[in-house]
Chains A and B, each alone.
Chain A
Amino acid sequence: MTPIDYFIHLDNIYLKAVIYVVLAPILGGLLAGVDRKISARMQGRIGPPILQPFYDVFKLFSKEKIIVNKFQNFNVILFFVFMVFTGSLFFLGGDLLLVIFALTLAGVFFALAGFSVNSPYCHIGAERELIQMMSYDPMIILVAVGMYQVTGTFRVDAIAMYDGPLILYLPGVFLGYLHVLTIKLRKSPFDLAMSAHAHQELVSGLKTEFSGTTLALIEIGHWYENVLLLGIIYLFFAFNSFLGVAAMLVLYFFEIIIDNTYARFKWELTFKSTWLVTALFGAANIIILYYAMQP
């Protein structure tokens, strides 16, 4: 039994909600810290302390409020609210499709934040963010479709308690999900819209004009999102929670390796490759499964 098992079997949904809302940013922040440390070691640097992301965010909160126009921060707040809502819906065991739709809503607010500023860098960042969303959206929906085909339900709690090994039924869907996970985690080669690294040709892309508290909210929002994305990995291995935890860690490490070994793709290649992978792995898996599961 891992703590995740205890969490899944908790009956009190309010407690679950509190645990998620408090714990997710801590885990997400730590993950970001570890990520930076490992990346640094891969590049032969010592790297920042593990807690550096927290220091950064706390410092951002104390910064002066600098804006381009009065309404630019407004969409970011909605992005943050809906991101927390989406995560809660997932970890409370809600409908997986609704989780995906709510995630889309949060993503749309984030892109709109970029549009509303009227800055060329933000704008191109927002357009690319949309292209990324369009690229990964079909695959994410197919993840839900595949899980529904195997378990007969969209409810996350029921999927998490499903006994069979989902990964064996959905290997293609899983590979497709890994592909889009790289986009969602904003890792190279798919970090088109914005990136933390210094090698971005778009300055900071979408978040160029955001600073201070708003930037901190963007960061924390992404921590919530990353925890949610890892949660979806866990669902594939939910029949054995040790395996599930191991899979999350190994795959995140794998994403760090990818991040450090690939140069950035152009948006055309990102889009094409993602839709192709979705069709070849995700869609094919689902169609085969449909015929395999027919009596």
Chain B
Amino acid sequence: METIIFLIIFPAAISLVLLSIPVKSVRRLIAVIANIALIAGTIHLLYGSAGETIRYELENVWIERAMLTLEVTLSIYILYMGIRFRRYLVVFFTLLQLALLVHFEAFAIPAVPVAHNLFVDNFSIILALIIGIIGSFICLYAIGYIEEYHERHKESEDNRRFFFFLMYLFLSAMFGIVFSNNLKWIYFFWEITTICSFLLIKYHEDEESIDSAFSALTINLMGGLAFAAGISYAGIYAGTLELDRLIAEGGAYAVIPAALIAFAGLAKSAQLPFSSWLTKAMVAPTPVSALLHSSTMVKAGVYIIIKVAPALKGTLAAAMLSYIGGLTFLVASFIAISQSNAKKVLAYSTIANLGLVVACAGIGTNEAIWSAILLIVFHAVAKSLMFLCVGLIENKLSSKEIENMDFLIMEMPKVSAAMIIGISGMFLAPFGMLISKWATLKAFIDFNPVMAIILAYGSAATLFFWTKWMGKIITIKYGLKNREKVVSPWEWTTLAVLSFMTIGVCIIFPLLSSALIEPYIIELFGVSPSMDRFNIIIIMIIMLGLLTILPIALMYYAWLDKDYKRVGTYLGGANVDNVRFLGSLGAQRTADIRNYYLDGFFSEKKLYNYGLVTAVFLVILMLGVVVI
């Protein structure tokens, strides 16, 4: 239990320390030590775990009081922000939430005893590993990133102490979410992540950032309101505030709170109809996008959905949940094709993959939950790597456009290598996401072939937008200057670690599955999915082995291969030199190559609107069927 409390309290303490120390070098030293401690803490947790769920009491009236005070303070702060920026929807949601809170604390609380406030099981250990390890490395990366960020954005105020305060506070809240069993505690940490996200998106303080920040805040407050309503209902009717007891023993009374909490989860993980906040949130500094908007905070949404979904099992609400996930996966994958802004492509791909997780949670069989957890792990590693690469490139090229990334492999070879690993990790065999997609497809077929068909179409779209991006990066042209000489060691370290982790999780995947995921699935269902896994592992390893040709062949072509004749590209027989040709009136033109975005088929506006309407309909059905 000490480890858990350490993981929750320590980052918060560090955040306060970082806020109060004015000397940069001291802050950096503290950050490094803190991150090492955090990583050690999560690994200690992994080794100390017994493999089954352990619940802890930790009864203390002061904790409750402190939380309540903080919660009210935060609400007042949001009220202030809402009034200051004239966002009255925010004010409205906050007031409702406050009213609900007061009503609940005043009427129901004395009657609801909570036996276990904290717990740890294998699923929360997996998430803690993601938060602890990936989160720490992203924070280290941010140290280098923010330096350059402020050099590029002279106009924005240098609030970096506040920035790191929020980052570490956020880590604390994330640990809180995954270890709390008391719904009120989860809710408390949940709201902290919402506010961290709001303030971090707003960091640049220009109109666009503020707009996006409020968009994220409004939608997440709406989710938070549903969460609070769910808690009140659980406390009043089901008579419990404990997540595990509510799901296990709540019976018919668990259905409504579960649906409401799932609603909050949908908002948090930016599923349709709520997805707009995540794509807007991409204005935030890139480490924020990597940490909050791809690898951890949005995962809190799917985490809670996976946790509450068993209470909905067999109802129409669960089916709706899986359709919302499937729809989101399909629509977001399609829209990603038409996007040329690198961070937006990443955002849509994140939304799509979270959609798959939600779909798995809705299906709720042992196979589906197994693949959902795999998806979470693989996605967190590969996607944070992608974001951090894009952040670096953005600082160097001053652009997030994929169309400006021509010849990147010649200009920034190491970053490009990391990016190629990241992209491969997202959709190619034998890397992580493909393993999980394979498992997901199997889970889908047994449940409902419609979901399998959705997956088939969506993956085809995924293939298209990732490969064309990769093609852009690896286009080769000679005589370009290397632009990655001035990348800070902070950023290099993180990129290198995450690249190796992307490959590493594929290699240790059998171990990961048998040591952590399967015991969890067995605890939940009694049986673990019996798949022909041995064969799969062998085949994956063979493929990984074959891929080692890649670096070897590269070295061969770079140094050993001398026997060739080089010519210019073919330009219709009218070459002036390698890139220019004679046009129709004898004018010299440059051959400029651009990618396809298929806007006629996959325009964002059209698809988003269809998706939004359908998803609103599905959400209404999901909530409607449980209420009636």
A residues with a Cβ closer than 8 A to B are 64-74, 77-78, 81-82, 85, 89, 94-95, 97-98, 101-102, 104-105, 108, 111-112, 114-123, 126-127, 130-131, 133-135, 137-139, 141-142, 145, 148-149, 154-155, 203, 208-209, 268, 271, 275, 278-279, 283, 286-287, 289-290
Extra inter-chain contacts (20) besides given A69-B476, A115-B470, A127-B468, CB under 8 Å? A67-B566, A69-B478, A70-B557, A73-B557, A77-B553, A81-B549, A82-B543, A85-B543, A85-B546, A114-B471, A127-B596, A130-B463, A134-B463, A134-B464, A138-B457, A141-B459, A279-B453, A287-B449, A290-B448, A290-B449
Query: Across the interface, which residues of A come within 8 angstroms of B600, CB to CB?
Result: 268
Query: Within the assembled complex, what's the spacing in Å between the Cα atoms of A119 and B593?
Result: 8
Known: A95-B539, A134-B463, A137-B463. A115 touches B564 (CB 8 A): no
**Interface-facing stretch out of B122-130, B482-490, B568-576:** B568-576
The answer to whether A98 touches B429, judged by C-beta atoms less than 8 angstroms apart, is: yes
Shortest Cβ distance from residue B471 to the other chain A in the assembled complex, whole angstroms: 3
Structural contact, A203 and B460, CB atoms closer than 8 A: no
CA distance A290 to B446 in the complex (A): 10
B431-461 CB contacts (< 8 Å) to partner A: 434, 438, 441-442, 445, 448-450, 452-453, 455-457, 459-461
Q: Please judge, given known A-B contacts A133-B464, A287-B450, whether A115 and B546 are in contact too, CB under 8 Å.
A: no
Q: Are A105 and B467 in contact (CB under 8 A)?
A: no
A120 engages B553 (CB within 8 Å): no
- Indicate whether A98 sits within 8 Å of B536 (C-beta atoms), given known contacts A117-B476, A121-B570, A142-B453: yes
B438–A98 contact, CB under 8 A? yes
Asked, given contacts A105-B543, A137-B463, A141-B441, whether A119 binds B570 with beta carbons under 8 Å apart, the answer is yes
Interface of B: prevailing SS: helix
Taking a contact as CB atoms under 8 Å apart, the answer to whether B543 and A115 are in contact is no
* Residues of chain A within 8 A of B477, CB atoms compared: 69, 118
List 15 interface pairs A-B (beta carbons < 8 Å), by A numbering: A65-B565, A66-B566, A70-B566, A82-B546, A112-B474, A115-B474, A115-B475, A118-B475, A123-B475, A123-B593, A127-B595, A130-B464, A130-B471, A142-B456, A203-B570
- Whether B464 contacts A131 by the Cβ 8 Å rule is yes
CA distance A72 to B471 in the complex (A): 12
CB distance from B448 to the nearest CB of A (A): 8
Which residues of B from 571 to 616 have beta carbons under 8 Å from A? Answer: 571, 578, 591, 593, 595-596, 598, 600-601
**Could you tell me the distance between the alpha carbons of A114 and B567 in the complex, rounded to whole angstroms?**
16
Q: Which of B441, B455, B461, B549 contacts A134 (CB 8 A)?
A: B461
**Given that A94-B539, A127-B595 are contacting pairs, would A286 and B428 also be in contact in the complex, using a CB cutoff of 8 Å?**
no
B25 at the interface (CB under 8 A from A): no
Judged by a CB distance under 8 angstroms, whether B472 is at the interface is: yes
CA distance in complex: A122, B475 (Å): 11
Measured CA separation A275–B464 after assembly (Å): 14
- Let me know if A116 and B476 touch, CB within 8 A: yes
Q: How far is the CA of A149 from the CA of B448 in the complex (A)?
A: 11
B463 to A85, Cβ gap below 8 A? no
**A138→B467 contact, CB < 8 A:** no
Q: How many Å from the CB of B416 to the closest CB on chain A?
A: 12
Contact for A137 among B445, B460, B471, B557, CB less than 8 A: B460
Inter-chain contacts of B568 with A (CB < 8 A): 68
Residues of chain B lying within 8 A (CB to CB) of residue A139: 456
User: How many interface residues does chain B have, given as a range?
Assistant: 35 or more
Per the bound structure, the CA–CA distance linking A145 and B566 in Å amounts to: 47
Residues of B close to A66: CB separation below 8 A:
564-567
Residues of B within 8 A of A278 (CB): 457
Which residues of chain B are within 8 angstroms of A154 by Cβ–Cβ distance?
442, 532
Q: Could you say which residues of chain B place their CB within 8 Å of the CB of A97?
A: 438, 441-442
Q: Does B60 contact A (CB under 8 A)?
A: no
Nearest residue, chain B, Cβ from A117 = B569
Least CB distance from A36 to B in Å reads 25
Shortest A206–chain B CB gap in Å is 11
| A270 → chain B closest CB, angstroms | 12
B542 on interface, CB distance cutoff 8 Å: yes
Separation of A94 and B448 alpha carbons in the complex (Å): 24
| Contact in complex: B558, A108 (CB < 8 Å) | no
Contacts of A134 in B (CB 8 A): 460-461, 463-464
Complex: A116 Cα to B565 Cα, angstroms: 18
A74 touches B428 (CB 8 A): no
Quick check: is B554 within 8 A (CB to CB) of the other chain?
yes
Contact with A along B519-558 (1 / 0, CB 8 A): 0000000000000100110010011001001100110011
B472 contacts across to A, CB distance below 8 A: 115
Establish whether residues A138 and B464, one from each chain, have CB atoms under 8 Å apart when the complex forms. Answer: no
Tell me whether B566 and A148 are in contact (CB under 8 A).
no
